[in-house]
Amino acid sequence: MLFIIFVILTPIVVWLLLHFMSSRQKSDAEDATPEAQIELCAMCQDEFPMTELLEKEVGGYGRVYCFCGTCIENLYHEYQHKTDIKVGE
């Protein structure tokens, strides 16, 4: 009788417990709303959701930088101002 308990019943009980726990974790994960991934802008170091950032791979080693719209706009205006000065000379 002891043999049956340890060899047959114990693994079945353990399997049932693990099965119950995994199904419970699945339902908890499905109920949770997925949050947007947050990343830092490479220039201003503010946090933004990835949907608001532009990702660019820089260099041959594959480093990826994220830029927010405000920083991109500031760079654009800075570049335009620089090119306008060169044209005016």
**Per-residue model confidence (pLDDT) at position 44:** 95
Q: Are 67 and 54 in contact (CB under 8 A)?
A: yes
Does the pLDDT value for residue 36 go beyond 60?
A: yes
Look up the pTM and report it: 0.55
* 45 backbone φψ class: left, alpha, beta (φ>0; ψ -120 to 50): left
The pLDDT tens digits for 5-35 are 778 888 898 999 988 888 877 665 565 556 7
Q: SS3 breakdown of the chain: % helix, strand, coil, rounded to 5? A: 60, 20, 20
d(CA 52, CA 38): 10
Q: Environment class of residue 77 by beta-carbon count within 10 Å: exposed (0-12), middle (13-18) or buried (19+)?
A: exposed
**Per-residue model confidence (pLDDT) at position 26:** 67
